[in-house]
Amino acid sequence: MAETFVIDNSIVMAWCFQDESNQYSDDILGCLEYSTAIVPSIWPLEVGNVLLVAERRKRLREADSIRFLALLAQLPIIVEQETPERMLKEILSLARSHKLSSYDASYLDLSMRKGLPLATLDENLISAAKDCRVPLKKANKNRDEKH
């Protein structure tokens, strides 16, 4: 049975930059063959900003960004919309209490609300997830194993 999980931008961007790639992020990408990921509404802007900064620093060409976005569009990643009120109240409060950016808190909040595991490489977010008893996504190498 396909599992749904929350994926944060640290994982997604590891797919874009070869020097940031690692086994965990690669395994999470493999899980998307038969699972669905959800992300908070801030995610598309986060992805776009990382790509723009990389282009400005000559780490990527515009063509690389366009190709990466086309590949991302093919993945089963669903953007969960948030109201501005939630963003400015609950998510901001969660960010304060766990010393996270509001962006990172939005992933944690989504995992908590949906009762879903979180896939992240961000150490502060991992720590906050553990504090909130949010399970971290395990990435098994074998497709037949439960993801």
The pTM (predicted TM-score) of the whole model is 0.89
Considering the chain, what is the average pLDDT of its residues?
91
Fold of 4-131: Rossmann fold (3.40.50)
Give the model's pLDDT for residue 146.
40
Q: What is the 3-state secondary structure (H, E, C) of 60-128?
A: CCHHHHHHHHHHHHCCCEEEECCCHHHHHHHHHHHHHHHCCCHHHHHHHHHHHHHCCCEECCCHHHHHH
**What does the domain layout of the chain look like in residue ranges?**
4-131
Task: Express each pLDDT in 48-68 by its tens digit.
Answer: 999 999 999 999 999 999 999
pLDDT given for residue 44 in this prediction? 96
Q: What is the pLDDT of residues 113-127, one digit of tens each?
A: 999 999 999 999 999
Q: What pLDDT band is residue 142 in, cutting at 50, 70 and 90?
A: very low
pLDDT, greater one: 104 or 83: 104
